[in-house]
């Protein structure tokens, strides 16, 4: 049986990270290096992250080759995209070198922090982790941070700090968050997603309950009182539970909510008592709830109301979360990562009150399995904008064994157009976008390129 990763967390141990330039691997390399381990690794291409790692003394091979691996390494860590047929993985197996997943390494590292704040949920993880980062920075906690997107405050998706707190975006896909060791586990919501891995919604709930039970007896679970699936999943939880939401029964509650365009003001109550006033510069009730989750986590950490207020006042969104890209022909062009019907609903709920003449959504579905499993929910939401332009499905990790296409969606949506190429979609937009329109590129693939091309054409 392979030893736990904890046994390799000692100065002088030699580790090799495959995919070392990745969004979660490069900070992992930096943290391990800072712990005194001798770290090197490989990546398929040069990047700013690779150059940074080399600048602090970490050797990086470009390309994955079996000859890169030798018996001088004590362990290997691989990114999620690296499979067993990778030549470096095969070489490690042949030499008997233990291979760990990156989540196992991060989970072991978490144990070295007094506070391990893990943000989970089907939707809202990146935004809420970013909000928590803003609060922790305002509170001068010098946190270590791992986010699944770029945060302008950090000019990156990660930060290596010297404080006693780590905050991690924690994904349920493939049960990866079950390798973590949270002292505070935040659950934003639970929905039927990643059904190429989970059998059904009940299986997703079971995974989140296991995640909540990773919290030690003296830890805290922060959960969305307004989300029925979350509260049902946690009904047998035997850990301290703090809830947040709009309902009066929630421990941390938002009241006196006033929206002005893309800005929202509200008061936060902690068990009925005034805690602080928040001014958000991102729209929508879903972001009010994300901010409540971040405030509830801050309360468990003993952070002052002032730090919560100032931290969130400076938050203007994470990369690809209702991100303003620029203007085209008098229209505002935004981009959003929403790729689940629940996220589409939250996004459209947020933009409908903003007063645009028309809303044009360019939607690129993400994976064949998700499009097929949630087909009718996608149809329901994509009927809401004035015009829905559908790009072909972004395959990501899948092959199309289901015979499904975005054309299938378009047949069910009266106000929609399907075009298989980005060039065709851009041609439609150039001819139809008018002053006062809101143009939204939406999806987890590369659909954002369409908005960037439009804006660049004007510049």
Instruction: Give the active site residues.
Output: 125-126, 169
Nearest to 130 by CA among 211, 188, 180, 49: 188
Task: With beta carbons less than 8 A apart as the criterion, state whether 27 and 158 touch.
Answer: yes
Distance of CA 174 to the CA centre of its chain: 15
Task: With beta carbons less than 8 A apart as the criterion, state whether 212 and 234 touch.
Answer: yes
d(CA 55, CA 215): 37
d(CA 24, CA 151): 14
Residue 442 phi, psi dihedral angles, 5° rounding:
-135, 130
Strand order in the sheet with 252-260: 156-159, 144-151, 165-169, 115-120, 184-187, 220-224, 240-245, 252-260, 263-270, 273-280
Distance of CA 440 to the CA centre of its chain: 19
Nearest to 105 by CA among 165, 190, 16: 16
Query: For the stretch 188-211, what's the b/e string if a residue is b when 16 or more beta carbons lie within 10 angstroms of its beta carbon?
Result: bbbbbbbbeebeebeebbebbbeb
d(CA 42, CA 19): 6
Q: Is 264 helix (H, G, I), strand (E, B) or coil?
A: strand
Task: With beta carbons less than 8 A apart as the criterion, state whether 431 and 399 touch.
Answer: no
Task: With beta carbons less than 8 A apart as the criterion, state whether 107 and 166 touch.
Answer: no
Token pair, residue 247, equals: 């309902």
Query: For the stretch 37-64, what's the b/e string if a residue is b when 16 or more beta carbons lie within 10 angstroms of its beta carbon?
Result: bbbbbbbeeeeebbeebeeeebebbeeb
How far are the Cα atoms of 11, 62, 136, 281, 333 from residue 284, in angstroms, in the given order? 47, 43, 23, 10, 18
The beta strand positions in 121-225, using DSSP E, are: 144-151, 156-159, 165-169, 184-187, 220-224
Task: With beta carbons less than 8 A apart as the criterion, state whether 276 and 312 touch.
Answer: no
Token pair, residue 364, equals: 């690129």
């Amino acid at each position: 049986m392979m030893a736990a990763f904890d046994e390799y967390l000692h100065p002088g141990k030699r580790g090799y990270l495959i995919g070392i330039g990745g969004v979660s691997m490069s900070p992992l390399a930096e943290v391990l290096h800072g712990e005194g381990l001798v770290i090197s690794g490989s990546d398929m291409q040069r990047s700013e992250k690779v150059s940074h790692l080399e600048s602090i003394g970490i050797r990086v091979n470009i390309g994955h080759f079996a000859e890169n691996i030798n018996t001088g390494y004590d362990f290997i860590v691989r990114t999620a995209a690296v499979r067993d047929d990778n030549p470096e993985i095969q070489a490690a197996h042949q030499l008997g070198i233990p291979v760990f997943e990156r989540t196992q390494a991060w989970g072991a590292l978490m144990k070295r922090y007094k506070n391990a704040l893990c943000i989970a949920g089907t939707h809202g993880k990146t935004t809420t982790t970013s909000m928590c980062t803003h609060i922790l920075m305002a509170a001068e906690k010098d946190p270590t941070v791992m986010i699944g997107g770029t945060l302008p405050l950090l000019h990156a998706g990660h930060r290596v700090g010297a404080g006693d707190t780590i905050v991690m975006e924690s994904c349920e896909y493939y049960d990866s968050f079950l390798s973590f060791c949270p002292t505070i586990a935040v659950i934003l919501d639970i929905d039927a997603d990643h059904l190429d891995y989970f059998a059904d919604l009940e299986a997703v709930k079971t995974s989140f309950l296991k995640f909540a039970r990773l919290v030690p007896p003296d830890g805290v679970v922060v959960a969305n009182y307004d989300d029925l699936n979350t509260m049902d999943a946690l009904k047998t939880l035997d850990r301290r539970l703090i809830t947040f939401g709009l309902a009066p029964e929630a421990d941390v509650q938002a009241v006196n909510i006033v929206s002005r365009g893309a800005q929202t003001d509200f008061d936060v109550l902690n068990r009925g008592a005034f805690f602080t006033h928040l001014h958000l510069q991102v729209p929508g009730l879903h972001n009010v709830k994300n901010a409540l989750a971040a405030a509830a986590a801050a309360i468990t950490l003993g952070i002052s109301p002032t730090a919560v207020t100032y931290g969130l006042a400076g938050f203007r969104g994470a990369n690809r979360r209702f991100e303003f890209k620029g203007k085209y022909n008098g229209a505002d062009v935004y981009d959003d990562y929403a790729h689940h019907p629940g996220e589409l609903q939250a996004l459209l709920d947020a933009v409908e009150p903003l007063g645009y003449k028309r809303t044009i959504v360019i939607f690129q579905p993400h994976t064949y399995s998700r499009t097929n499993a949630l087909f009718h929910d996608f149809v329901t939401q994509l009927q809401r904008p004035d015009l829905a332009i559908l790009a072909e499905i972004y395959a990501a990790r899948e092959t199309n064994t289901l015979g499904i296409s975005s054309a299938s969606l378009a047949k069910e949506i009266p106000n929609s157009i399907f075009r298989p190429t980005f060039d065709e979609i851009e041609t439609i937009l150039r001819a139809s976008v008018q002053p006062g329109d809101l143009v939204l590129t939406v999806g987890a693939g590369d659909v954002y390129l369409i908005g960037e091309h439009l804006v660049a054409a004007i510049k």
